[in-house]
A and B are shown apart, each in its own frame.
Chain A
Amino acid sequence: MTNLVPNIAYDYAELAKVSGIELPTPKTEAWKYTRLRDLLDCPYTLCTPSSATGPELPLKADVIHISNGRLVSALPQVAGAEITVIDHVEEKTHHPFAQMNALYLTQGLQITIRRKLSRPLVLNYHMSPNGENGFYHWRNIINCEKDSSAAIIEQFTYEGEVKSCYLANLVNDINIQAGASLQHYKYQNEAFKANHVALHEITIAADGKYESFCLQKGANIARNETEISLNGEGAEAVVNAAYMMNGWATLDTTTNVYHYQPHTKSSQLVKGVVGGTAKGVFQGRIHIAPNAVCTSGTQLHKAMVLSDDAEIDVKPELEIFADDVKCSHGAASGEIDKEQLFYMRSRGIGEEEAKTLLIDAYVTDVINHITDSSVREWFKSLI
């Protein structure tokens, strides 16, 4: 973070360029559906610190407050885990935003899970724009040691000017060792002109399990990208998500799952609801390496489109180089079911109320896959 000056508005693309990092353009295949121009058009200053904290979650948890990209609470003592602050990291991948994140890291955490945690760990990210278009880069390096188990919840909220177009750039480096399991939940409700780019890089060893659910409701442009390497036999990943947007936002869910070993399993269920001129993007790739026999990878994206101007872009990719593999992908999008709507209205329920009930039911279907009941109820209360 040494060479950035506070109060100077940086052109993000320019900053990347002088740093030797090539940001994607609208022509870059992996980013062509994301309205990158909107994201890169606005010059950003480095976020000034704030001490405002985000709303508490209605569940028992150890909580870490992060405000404007900086830690603002004392780190909790968590039995079975070790948490320390980091201020520099190295990026191993070529992901341009992750490279920017590493090069200009605001702050981050190193979280080591040693055994089974008794309650979830909440990372409560909060933004108060302070009259500026700020950016911050936050990173967690999460190491789940052998046979450990934990639940980590990330919540992103804001207060103050709804029109601030700040940029949150987040990276989670997650390593799940043999027999360990991690439940990873995320709720993104950024300001409606804000930009949110998150990358989760996850490696899973034999018999390790990763279960995730991400609900996106905010931001102008938000991309939640998950890259999973199933590196040992018996490794398993569940990558579920939901997004709901009525304005003009672009909500992007991108997933790359690499099955490198036999007997590995992955499943993805993503459901979206878009109205107004909003745009939902789902890019899901399942890659099965030549030796990865007896694997299964499934993927399903469903979207409910509420207006003529809303848009859904879906790009599934299956790369299968092994035999004896169970793979499936599917996508469906449609309007609210007219028969169901009529049935409800014919019982006196108003049209808008009926639609809300039907949309809730649609999204609740994914939420019901969450194993932790208190987390499940929390997400239900958010839709």
Chain B
Amino acid sequence: MNTPLLEIEDLCAEVCGKQIIKDFNLTINEGEVHAIMGPNGAGKSTLSYVLCGKPGYAVTSGSVRFKGKDLLAMSVEERAREGVFLIMQYPVEIPGVPTTTFLKHAVNAVRKHQGLPELDTMEFLKMVREEGRLLGIDNEMLKRPINVGFSGGEKKRMETLEMSILKPDFAILDEADSGLDIDALKVVAEGVNRLRDGKRSMLVITHYQRLLNYIVPDFVHVFADGHIVRSGNKDLALELEQNGYAEFVKEK
């Protein structure tokens, strides 16, 4: 019934010799949306990077399986092609590389991995413009170098666009809501919800319960000091909004 998509077991990881992720355990089944909330500096972004294989983030023990395969043995690009996607808290600006060029290379790299024919320029542009329109990204923005000079909100829309066209099986949203105005929040949330098909899974990292009104999670976890300290349903988010993290941070 419940098919596990991502299985994280006793994961420990460090950055610059500093242990950040400590005995982290979490299983996400197909179709589930999990939310993670937790104080600044707890290690939420670090966890996202570890799952994507960012160089410099060293796993010291534990295991991660994705669709039953050893995720940690894969390169950054292999993970992406297998269907892991991260909406980054701070998307990177790349001067000189037009957004469409970048997106076309990404889409075709993933398609090639899936054994699908590469899209030609016309097919690609039609698809990306269509998805862009739904997210309020116009053609002018698509011609600009990727993320360069984009406002905070525009960057998050662009991340959502990338996710929409790459159609990953598992998406991590690291503060996808930060910097978004109320309307943009809805647009991004709708973009995310369009991808929810009962099979795709998501890990939603946020500081604000508001996002979870739009992207309703199946589970909410409190993340503090490198691991999950409490889990519950969507009501836990409301409780946290009321009480803050004091009880979890004190605990150690």
A357 at the B interface (CB under 8 A)? yes
Q: How large is the interface on B (under 10, 10 to 19, 20 to 34, 35 or more residues)?
A: 20 to 34
Q: Mark B26-61, 1 if CB is under 8 A from A, else 0.
A: 000000000000000000000000001011000000
Name which residue of chain B comes closest to A363, CB basis: B96
**Minimal Cβ-Cβ distance residue in B for A356:** B105
Residue of A nearest to B93 (CB): A340
Minimum C-beta distance from B44 to chain A (A) = 17
Contacts A340-B92, A342-B54, A365-B96 given; does A348 touch B80 at CB 8 Å: yes
Q: Are A364 and B96 in contact (CB under 8 A)?
A: yes
Cross-chain pairs A/B with CB under 8 angstroms, 18 sampled: A338-B55, A339-B92, A344-B105, A344-B106, A346-B76, A346-B86, A347-B80, A347-B85, A347-B166, A348-B81, A348-B109, A350-B77, A357-B97, A357-B105, A358-B94, A361-B95, A361-B96, A361-B145
CB atoms of B91 and A343 under 8 A apart: yes
Instruction: From A345, A353, A358, A362, give the contact of B80 (CB < 8 A).
Output: A345
Kindly list 12 other residue pairs between chains A and B, CB separation below 8 angstroms, not including A343-B88, A346-B88, A357-B97.
A338-B55, A340-B94, A344-B105, A344-B106, A345-B77, A345-B80, A351-B76, A357-B102, A358-B97, A361-B97, A361-B145, A365-B96
Contact in complex: A365, B95 (CB < 8 Å): yes
Q: Is A349 an interface residue (CB 8 A)?
A: yes
Please give the distance in Å from B216's CB to the nearest CB on chain A. 27
Within B153-197, the residues touching A (CB, 8 Å) are 162, 166
Inter-chain CA distance A251–B154, complex, in Å, is 41
Bound complex: CA of A377 vs CA of B141, how far in Å?
22
Q: Is the CB of B92 within 8 A of A345?
A: no
Contacting pair A343 B92 (CB below 8 A): yes
A357 partner residues in chain B, CB cutoff 8 A: 97, 101-102, 105
**Residues on A with beta carbons closer than 8 Å to the beta carbon of B94:** 340, 343-344, 358, 361
Does B75 count as interface, using CB distance less than 8 angstroms? yes
Q: Does B110 contact A (CB under 8 A)?
A: yes
4 residue pairs, one from A and one from B, having the closest CB atoms: A361-B96, A343-B92, A348-B80, A347-B106
A 301-333 binary contact with B (CB < 8 Å = 1; else 0): 000000000000000000000000000000000
Q: How many residues of A contact B (CB 8 A)?
A: 21
Provide the bound-state CA to CA distance between A342 and B50, in Å. Answer: 12
Q: Measured between alpha carbons, how far is A99 from B37 in the docked complex, in Å?
A: 75
Q: A353-B109, A364-B96 are in contact. Are A345 and B76 (CB under 8 A)?
A: yes
A-chain residues with CB within 8 Å of residue B101 when the two chains form the complex:
357
Complex alpha-carbon distance, A357 and B146, angstroms: 12
Q: How far does the Cβ of A86 sit from chain B's closest Cβ, in whole Å?
A: 42
Tell me, in angstroms, the Cα distance from A349 to B92 when the chains sit together: 15
- The interface residues of chain B lying within 8 Å CB-to-CB of A347 are 80, 85, 102, 106, 109, 162, 166
- Is B113 an interface residue when CB atoms closer than 8 A count as contact? yes
Q: Which residue in A339, A342, A364 is a CB contact (below 8 Å) of B76?
A: A342
Please, how many angstroms separate the alpha-carbon atoms of A342 and B49 in the complex?
A: 10
Docked-complex contact A349 and B109, CB < 8 angstroms: yes
Q: A358-B97, A362-B96 are in contact. Are A348 and B86 (CB under 8 A)?
A: no
A343 to chain B, nearest CB (A): 4
Q: Which of A346, A351, A357 has most chain B Cβ within 10 Å?
A: A346
Are B52 and A350 closer than 8 Å at their CB atoms?
A: no
